[in-house]
Amino acid sequence: MIYRTLRNTSEKLSAVGLGCMGMSHAYGALDNAESIATLHRALDLGINFWDTADMYGQGRNEELVSEVLVPNRNKIFLATKFGFRYRADGTTYFDGSPAYMKTAVEASLKRLRIDTIDLYYAHRVDPAIPVEEMVGAMAELVKEGKVRYLGLSEASAASIRKAHAVHPITALQNEYSLITRDVEAEILPLCRELGITLVPFSPLARGLVTATLDTAELAPDDFRRTLPRFQDAHLDNNLKLTEALKAFAAEKGITPAQLALAWVLAQGEDVIPIPGTKKRKYLEENAGAADVQLSVGDLAWVAEILRQYPDVGQRYNEGMMKLVNH
């Protein structure tokens, strides 16, 4: 595995991290035994940057991760998040208040069975709470030794700048992939200005660009069924795009997933993607992307493929987009 430095720190993180959400949340049937085996395999492969959140499976993902995290604590850089809360009917809302954060971090530490979280993100920015107030409260956790570094997720440029003025923001988590490139306009340049590492989630576009996903076979409760990219004309466009990427990847002797991850990695040393998986075979495939070098010509050819299939669709439905800080 190749390692990249978390900016403004001495932390060496695997260039390809591991998103653990799907092991407990959102993507169909669970298989805890395979998930645990996948976590152990991640250690074997040198993947030391693991990402979870308190809302994934209503805390069950943190508990699952803890089974491998605790006996291997010094080998893993662990990130988790707070902010989403569940109502009695199972729907969620966001609470970025300092009062809730204090209870959330204690609950996460208990589920994870560790004393300190390496990287603690606010899962979103609460429009009802000044971001300076939220980050100020998060900074207290650093002073108390409960958290080492602070991060934001899906935050606007204005919010990032305000937050960073209160306490250094070490990482920003945003969706970034071949077909999700919003961050390139303003967010990525700002991260580079402020010395913040960008941590792309869904760098494989929720499996869409891997050419392994049968969208007709998605479980009824798989949340991808609600996303515009998996529907109608957008889906037709994206399947054609994926076939074109698959053909180019084959010429390179790599898989479509490795091409997609290598493209994200090629965007800069300050970009550390966290593709999610709950299966060892996909973890191994993802890890192999760290060794793929794309030439200037390769990147130009990928750009041409993307240009031919522009109708990719919005990454979230209208309701979910409202939770993204603009």
| DSSP string across 291-311 | G----HHHHHHHHHHHHH---
pLDDT at 95: 96
Rounded mean pLDDT of 55-70? 95
Q: Are 317 and 308 in contact (CB under 8 A)?
A: no
Residues annotated as catalytic (active site), given as ranges: 56
Query: What is the three-class DSSP state of 13?
Result: strand
Q: Which token pair is 195?
A: 């010395």
Say whether pLDDT at 322 is over 70: no
Say which DSSP state 59 is in: G
Do residues 160 and 172 touch, judged by C-beta distance below 8 A? yes
Quote the pLDDT of residue 326: 57
Decide if 254 contacts 167 (C-beta within 8 A).
Answer: no
44 versus 226: which is more confidently predicted?
A: 44
User: Among positive and negative, which fits the CA dihedral 315, 321, 323, 326?
Assistant: positive
| Full set of structural domains in the chain with CATH | 9-207+265-292 (3.20.20.100)
Q: State in Å, rounded, how far the first CA of the chain is from the last one.
A: 35
- Answer yes or no: is pLDDT of 27 > 70: no
Q: What is the pTM of this model?
A: 0.92
Number of helices followed by number of strands (H, E) in the chain = 11, 11
Percent of the chain past pLDDT 70, that is, above it, reads: 95
Q: Using DSSP, state whether 141 is helix, strand or coil.
A: helix
Confidence band of 217 (pLDDT split at 50, 70, 90): confident
**Structure confidence at residue 215 as a pLDDT band (50, 70, 90):** confident
